[in-house]
């Protein structure tokens, strides 16, 4: 039985590691070049699956080598690709990524098949979505398709987690169907009109999201951690200190781990703490999917910084 259904993008990441990010018109000679499967949807699916969730992907790839490699990645991670469409009319999406020595990045995306992911693709997977425990989506595919998927999940009583990346304004009708919104500082600012630059402004943005119709708001703040807001309480999850080398997949690690936590029945604030640690750990490796931690790795990491209590019950059930 599938626990998490991810609707979203699947593309290939082409990454160059540089001493610094270029400014307009500048050429910077780099070192490491890496080709790896990516796309926020695919990344989040891998993040949840690595932790032990049973995951299925809904999306599109082109009928090309990159598409074949992405499907193979799903299979290698035990993620169902039954409802991934192989589109013969266009190429698989591609992301061009530059990463500096501090882990900062710049990303350009040619969407390809991602841009053709359709409501009909979602309808084909309705039976699987209806029987799942969490529906997870992002905004790298057409908004009409995201809205259709969210409405379908909501109609079937499946909790919806929406990662509002890349940043854009969203209609209230969509937000009112969402259980959990996950937004970084920039995304929360665009969504709410609140300029988010610290914990207090993140809390204000979270409360604004609740007023816009969502049940739970999670605003991530990078090294400053994250803020979770619901009608009963607001929690600031402090940042986790690590030696970051690449922040490319951190947000996706957060979303996948959050979905995993919710599937395992822990409350939203604890699921966000789990996700906060998974995101921090992901920044210690180069790449997106390559950096997603396993449950054992996350448990060891959280134990080393005194935060393992949240994970203990899940870990013990999984490995007993």
The domain limits of the chain are 4-9+40-59+114-319
225 belongs to an annotated ligand binding site: yes
The answer to whether 100 is a known catalytic residue is: no
261 belongs to an annotated ligand binding site: no
The predicted structure's pLDDT at residue 128: 98
Q: What is the mean pLDDT of the chain?
A: 93
Are 80 and 2 a contacting pair, CB within 8 Å?
Answer: yes
Active site residue: 179, 230, 252, 270, which one? 252
Mean pLDDT on 83-89: 97
Q: 4-9+40-59+114-319 in CATH: which number?
A: 3.40.1190.20
pLDDT tens-digit readout, 198-226: 999 999 999 999 999 999 999 999 989 99
Q: Which of 37-41, 84-88, 108-112 has the highest mean pLDDT?
A: 84-88
Mean pLDDT on 256-266: 95
Q: Say whether pLDDT at 103 is over 90.
A: no
255 belongs to an annotated ligand binding site: no
The predicted structure's pLDDT at residue 105: 84
The predicted structure's pLDDT at residue 104: 85
- Calculate what percentage of the chain has a pLDDT beyond 90: 78
Mean pLDDT on 13-34: 89
Top-confidence residue, 31 or 228: 228
Query: What's the per-residue H, E or C state across 43-63?
Result: HHHHHHHHCCCCEEEEEEEEC
State the pLDDT confidence band at 32, using cuts at 50, 70 and 90. Answer: confident
103 belongs to an annotated ligand binding site: no
The β-bridge partners of 310 are none
Mean pLDDT on 178-191: 97
State the pLDDT confidence band at 320, using cuts at 50, 70 and 90. Answer: very low
The predicted structure's pLDDT at residue 308: 73
The predicted structure's pLDDT at residue 201: 97
Q: Say whether pLDDT at 81 is over 80.
A: yes
Helices (H), 29-142: 40-50, 65-76, 119-124, 126-130
Q: Say whether pLDDT at 316 is over 80.
A: no
CA distance 273 to 222: 13
Q: Whole-prediction pTM value?
A: 0.91
Q: Say whether pLDDT at 158 is over 60.
A: yes
Top-confidence residue, 177 or 309: 177
pLDDT tens-digit readout, 141-150: 999 999 999 9
Q: Say whether pLDDT at 288 is over 90.
A: no
224 belongs to an annotated ligand binding site: yes
Angle at which helices 40-50 and 65-76 cross, to 10°? 20
Q: How many CB atoms lie within 10 A of CB 101?
A: 11
38 belongs to an annotated ligand binding site: no
SS3 content of the chain, % helix, strand, coil (to 5): 40, 20, 35
Q: Say whether pLDDT at 129 is over 90.
A: yes
State the pLDDT confidence band at 318, using cuts at 50, 70 and 90. Answer: low
275 belongs to an annotated ligand binding site: no
140 belongs to an annotated ligand binding site: yes
Q: Say whether pLDDT at 77 is over 70.
A: yes
92 belongs to an annotated ligand binding site: no
- Token code pair at residue 53: 């969730």
Q: Is 204 helix (H, G, I), strand (E, B) or coil?
A: helix
222 belongs to an annotated ligand binding site: yes
The β-bridge partners of 234 are 229
Q: Say whether pLDDT at 267 is over 80.
A: yes
């Amino acid at each position: 039985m599938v626990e998490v259904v991810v609707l979203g993008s699947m593309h290939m990441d082409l990454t160059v590691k540089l001493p610094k990010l270029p400014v307009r018109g500048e050429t910077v000679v780099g070192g490491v070049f890496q080709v790896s499967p990516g796309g926020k949807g695919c990344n989040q699916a891998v993040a949840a699956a690595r932790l032990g969730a049973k995951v299925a992907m809904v999306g599109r790839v082109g009928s090309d080598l990159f598409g074949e490699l992405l499907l193979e990645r799903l299979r290698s991670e035990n993620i169902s690709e039954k409802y991934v469409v192989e589109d013969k009319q266009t190429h698989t999406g591609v992301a061009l990524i530059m990463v500096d020595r501090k882990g900062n990045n710049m990303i350009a995306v040619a969407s390809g098949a991602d841009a053709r992911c359709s409501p009909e693709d979602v309808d084909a997977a309705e039976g699987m979505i209806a029987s799942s425990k969490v529906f997870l989506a992002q905004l790298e595919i057409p908004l009409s398709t995201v809205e259709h998927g969210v409405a379908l999940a909501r109609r079937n009583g499946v909790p919806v987690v929406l990662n509002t990346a890349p940043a854009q304004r969203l209609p209230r009708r969509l937000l009112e169907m969402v259980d959990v919104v996950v937004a970084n500082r920039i995304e929360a600012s665009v969504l709410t009109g609140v300029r988010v630059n610290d914990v207090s402004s993140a809390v204000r943005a979270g409360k604004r999201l609740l007023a816009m119709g969502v049940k739970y708001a999670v605003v991530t703040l990078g090294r400053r951690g994250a803020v979770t807001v619901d009608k009963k309480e607001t929690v600031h999850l402090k940042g986790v200190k690590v030696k970051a080398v690449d922040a490319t997949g951190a947000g996706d690690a957060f979303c996948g781990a959050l979905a995993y936590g919710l599937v395992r029945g822990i409350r939203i604030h604890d699921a966000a703490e789990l996700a906060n640690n998974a995101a921090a750990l992901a920044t210690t490796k180069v790449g997106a999917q390559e950096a997603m931690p396993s449950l054992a790795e996350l448990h060891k990491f959280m134990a080393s910084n005194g935060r393992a209590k949240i994970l203990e019950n899940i870990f013990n059930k999984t490995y007993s």
